[in-house]
Amino acid sequence: MRKYTLMSIVLLSALLGGCYSESDYGGDGQLVDRGWSAANDRYVLDLGPVGGNEATYHLKKLPAMEMTVGFVLVGKGGDCLADSKPINPMVETYLLSEAGEEVISEAALLREWVWSESTLCDGAFLYRAGESVEKAVGDGTTTFERVQIKASEGWGTYFTPMRNASYRLRVKVFPAPTGSYSLRVVAKSGGWK
């Protein structure tokens, strides 16, 4: 029995030692880890509101799991923003690796982005999916396969950071939102769902 207890302690130490902690993050903004039990958005990196028309952010040592770069649009009227799509500036998002490789390169009017509403209708998360092709898997079923994948598995505004790597994110918004709407730059990862 003692042999199994010692082996369990060694295994647990190895697993915990290799885990990512939000304190590992070394770039701009604030990274929050909602914990291993989070069904959605385990890691959320808030880079703050879009100020002016252009901003550049440095991202260092992100968790090595797929993240989606996008925007959180919040209105003050309580409307479901994904239904009304109340603003439509031109948005450009570029992410480069520390080696200068293109990871994300998306430019489109905001209404052309995917608008994902929160369940409370208190804001919308906006992002871009990359191109995909439909593939037959057999028995009449199909699946979609991502194409035109860039460095760090960049696809649309999705990417998977390399462990301990640095990235430079540049965002342009023309015209910048004004009035009762706030647009924040965020990157978030999935959870167990």
Considering only CA atoms, which of 86, 65, 58 is closest in space to residue 182? 86
Q: How many CB atoms lie within 10 A of CB 81?
A: 24
Residue 137: inside a domain, yes or no?
Answer: yes
Q: How far apart are CA 188 and CA 31, in angstroms?
A: 9
User: Does residue 5 fall inside a structural domain?
Assistant: no
- Residues 12, 139: Cα–Cα separation, whole Å: 43
Do the domain assignments include residue 3?
no
Residue at 13 is within a domain:
no
Residue type, 102: E
Residue 33 lies in a domain: yes
Residue 16 covered by a domain: no
CA distance 99 to 121: 40
Range of the domain at 151: 21-189
Q: Is residue 15 part of a domain?
A: no
**pTM value > 0.85:** no
The total domain count for the chain is 1
Question: pLDDT at position 9, please?
Answer: 43
10-residue mean pLDDT series, the chain (193 residues): 50 46 87 88 91 90 95 74 82 97 97 80 85 89 93 97 96 85 88 66
Q: Please choose, from the candidates 134, 133, 186, 132, the residue with its C-alpha nearest in 3D space to the C-alpha of residue 156.
A: 132
The pLDDT of residue 36: 85
Decide if 10 is inside a domain.
no
Q: Which of 176, 170, 144 is nearest to 55 (CA)?
A: 170
Local structure of 179: helix, strand or coil? coil
Predicted local distance difference test score (pLDDT) of residue 70: 95
